[in-house]
């Protein structure tokens, strides 16, 4: 691939949640375009597997993104191994259904806390660590956070996970707020918001025939299909790249048409 396409050649990017699904796909694309990456995951096994695939342009750290020191350690590794930090892509997160997230009247206290920690607090912690590093080294940097269309475009029949929706909406507000505050320091903060993408988190939905019938109408691009992790790579690489140097505080929905569709047949 041409290194000039996304202008990430030589950049050092930490990918939180970079060993499976959307994060690993982005890490592959970053390395293919000449970036150096540090991938972070709770699973040492997943970290080792990712590094075996990504090669010498990558390093890895195993830790829970919802704990304060995990992103700090991953960023410190990036600086130690590659000399600096140019970008953070926070993908880590997931469903809290197994812990009790769901419709509000059925949500458990544990489900609420777990889901907010996993999807919102973890992003605030990694962004804090990145901003501190950017300020310390000077010259600015790029942060890209993983949102969801469910943060503002709900699906009450099939995707009623209200703590998850609140967390993803919180990511939008948080990201725009810090984008505004740190713009004078040339720190850019943007959000990618996918719809349903085929990842380990989405197996429940992908295996449900009624959900797939809904998705065929709700995500009508390319014949009506579930998204693939690589569908988000172009937007991610662009927003992390030098080509996006004048863009901050923006949200891009990579959603197959979710937010402009009714989710039922028409015409």
β 87-90/141-146 pair status? parallel
* Residue of 89, 164, 181, 182 marked catalytic: 164
Active site annotation includes 181: no
Cα distances (angstroms) measured from residue 146 to each of 4, 43, 88, 213? 24, 20, 11, 26
* Best CA proximity match to 257, nearest among 218, 231, 225, 229: 218
Strand partners, 85: none
Per the CB < 8 A criterion, the answer to whether 101 and 164 are in contact is yes
Residue 15's closest CA among 94, 77, 80? 77
Angle between helices 21-32 and 44-54 (to 10 degrees): 30
Q: Alpha-carbon distance 161 to 174, whole Å?
A: 20
Other C-beta atoms within 10 Å of 267: how many?
2
What is the pairing mode between strands 87-90 and 36-41?
Answer: unpaired
Burial 155-182 (b: 16+ CB within 10 A, else e): beeebbbbbbbbbbbbbbebbbebbeeb
Q: Which two tokens stand for residue 181?
A: 């505050």
Residue 8 and residue 35: Cα distance in Å, rounded?
A: 6
In contact, 91 and 27? CB cutoff 8 Å: no
Q: Which residues are catalytic?
A: 164
């Amino acid at each position: 691939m041409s290194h000039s396409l996304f202008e990430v050649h030589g950049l050092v990017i930490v990918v939180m949640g970079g060993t499976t699904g959307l994060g690993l796909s982005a890490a592959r694309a970053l390395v293919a375009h000449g970036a150096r990456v540090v991938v972070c995951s709770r699973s040492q096994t997943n970290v080792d597997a990712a590094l075996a695939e990504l090669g010498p342009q990558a390093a890895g750290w195993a830790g829970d993104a919802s704990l304060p020191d995990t992103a700090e350690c991953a960023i410190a590794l990036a600086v130690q191994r590659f000399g600096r930090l140019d970008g953070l892509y926070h993908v880590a997160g997931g469903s809290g259904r197994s812990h009790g997230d769901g419709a509000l009247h059925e949500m458990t206290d544990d489900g609420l806390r777990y889901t907010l920690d996993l999807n919102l607090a973890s992003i605030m912690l990694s962004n804090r660590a990145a901003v501190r590093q950017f300020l310390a080294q000077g010259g600015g940097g790029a942060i890209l956070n993983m949102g969801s269309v469910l943060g503002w475009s709900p699906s009450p029949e099939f995707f009623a996970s209200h703590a998850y929706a609140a967390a993803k909406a919180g990511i939008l507000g948080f990201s725009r707020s810090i984008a505004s505050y740190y713009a004078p320091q040339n720190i850019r903060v943007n959000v990618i918001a996918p719809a349903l993408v085929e990842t380990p988190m989405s197996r429940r939905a992908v295996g449900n025939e009624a959900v797939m019938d809904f998705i065929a109408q709700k995500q009508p691009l390319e014949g009506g299909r579930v998204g693939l992790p690589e569908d988000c790579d172009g937007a991610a690489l662009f927003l992390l790249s030098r080509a996006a140097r004048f863009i901050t505080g923006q949200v891009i929905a990579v959603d197959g048409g979710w937010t402009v569709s009714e989710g039922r047949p028409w015409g």
